[in-house]
Structure 1
Amino acid sequence: MDIEFVRSRFIKHFDGQTGNIYFSPGRINLIGEHTDYNGGFVFPGAIDKGIMAEVRPNGTDTIMCYSIDMKDRVEFKVNDPDGPRTTWARFIYGMVQEFKQLGVQVGGFNIAFAGDVPLGAGMSSSAAMESCFGCALNDLFANNEISKWDIVLAGQATEHKYIGVNCGIMDQFASVFGQEGKLMRLDCRSREFEYFPFEPKDHTLVLINSKVKHELVGSPYNDRRRSCENVVSALAEHFPGKHFETLRDAEPDELLAVENEVSTEDYRRAHFVLGEKERVLAVCDALNHGDYETVGRMMYETHEGLSKEYEVSCEELDYLNQLAREAGVTGSRIMGGGFGGCTINLVSNDVYDDFISTAIAKFKSRYGHAPEVYPVVISAGSHKVC
Structure 2
Amino acid sequence: MMVEKIVDAFKDRFGAEPVIFRAPGRVNLIGEHTDYNDGFVMPAAIDRYVYFAIKPNGQNVYRFHAFDLNKSFTTTTDLISPSKSRWANYLLGVISQMVGYGKDIPGFDCVFGGNVPIGAGLSSSAAIESGLAFALNHIFSLGFTPMQLALIGQKAEHEYAGVKCGIMDQFASLHGKKNHVLKLDCRSLEFEPFELRTDNFSIILVNTGVKHSLASSKYNIRRNECQVGVDILKKYNANISSLRDVSLDVLNEHKSEFDKKVWDRCSYVVEENLRVKQAGEALQNKDFQLFGRLLYQSHYGLKEKYEVSCPELDKLVDITEPLDYVLGSRMMGGGFGGCTINLVRNTHIDQFIEQVKLHYKTPQGNTPDIITCVIANGAELFS
The verdict on a shared fold, with TM-score over 0.5 as the criterion, is: yes
* Match in the other structure for 1:351: 348
Residues 1-386 of structure 1 mapped to structure 2, 5 A cutoff: 2-15=2-15, 17-82=16-81, 85-141=84-140, 143=141, 145-212=143-210, 220-221=218-219, 224-237=222-235, 240=236, 243-328=239-324, 329-364=326-361, 368-386=365-383
Q: Deviation string for 1:27-66 (max 9, x for gaps)? A: 1111011212332111111111121011111222222222
Contact 1:39 1:246 in 2 (8 A): yes
> Could you say if the C-alpha distance between residues 45 and 63 of structure 1 is closer, same or farther in structure 2, counting changes exceeding 3 Å?
same
Alpha-carbon distance between aligned partners in 2 of 1:129 and 1:241, rounded to the nearest angstrom: 40
Distance 1:365 1:88 in 2: 26
Q: Could you tell me which amino acid in structure 1 is paired with residue 77 of structure 2? A: V
Paired residues of 2:309 and 2:331 also in contact (CA < 8 A): yes
Deviation at residue 151 of structure 1 after TM alignment: 1.4
Letter in 2 for 1:244: I
CA distance in 2, matches of 1:46, 1:88: 22
TM-score by length of 2: 0.91
Shift of residue 309, structure 1, vs aligned partner:
2.6
State the distance in 2 between where 1:293 and 1:154 align: 37
Post-superposition CA distance 1:205-254 (Å, at most 9, x none): 11111122589xx98545544554454455445xx467322222222222
Distance 1:101 1:303 in 2: 39
| Structure 2 counterpart of 1:146, one-letter code | F
Shift of the 92–241 alpha-carbon distance from structure 1 to 2, 3 Å rule, reads closer
Q: Which ranges in structure 2 are unaligned for 5 or more consecutive residues?
A: none
* 8 Å CA contact retained: 1:74, 1:84: no
Q: What is the CA–CA distance in structure 1 between the aligned matches of 2:276 and 2:203, rounded to whole Å?
A: 17
Q: CA deviation at 1:145?
A: 1.2
| Partner Cα separation in structure 2 for residue 18 and residue 220 of structure 1 | 43
Which amino acid in the other structure matches residue 175 of structure 1? S
Q: Per-residue CA shift, 1:269-320, capped at 9, x if unaligned?
A: 3332222111100111111222222111100111122222333222221111
Mapped to 2, the partners of 1:385 and 1:365 lie a distance apart of: 35
Change beyond 3 A, Cα 1:312–1:59: closer
Letter in 1 for 2:12: K
Distance across 1 between alignment mates of 2:50 and 2:247: 41
- Note if contact 1:131-1:152 (Cα within 8 Å) is conserved in structure 2: yes
Percent identity, please: 39
Structure 2: which amino acid aligns with 1:11?
K
Structure 1 CA distance for aligned equivalents of residues 85 and 220 of structure 2: 29
The AA in structure 2 aligned to 1:156 is Q
Quick one: distance in 2 between partners of 1:234 and 1:272? 16
* Equivalent residue pairs, number: 381
1:68 partner letter = F
Q: Give 3-state SS (helix, strand or coil) of 2:102's partner.
A: coil
Aligned-partner Cα distance in 1 for 2:40–2:99: 31
In structure 2, distance between residues paired with 1:134 and 1:214:
25
Q: Distance in 2 between matches of 1:171 and 1:266?
A: 25
Aligned residues of 1:200 and 1:292 also touching (Cα < 8 A): no
Q: What is the rounded CA distance, in whole Å, between the counterparts of 2:57 and 2:211 in structure 1?
A: 42
TM-score (norm: length of structure 1): 0.90
Letter paired with 1:50? Y
Q: Over residues 80-100 of structure 1, what are the superposed CA-to-partner deviations in whole Å (9 max), with x where a residue is unaligned? A: 244754232333222222222
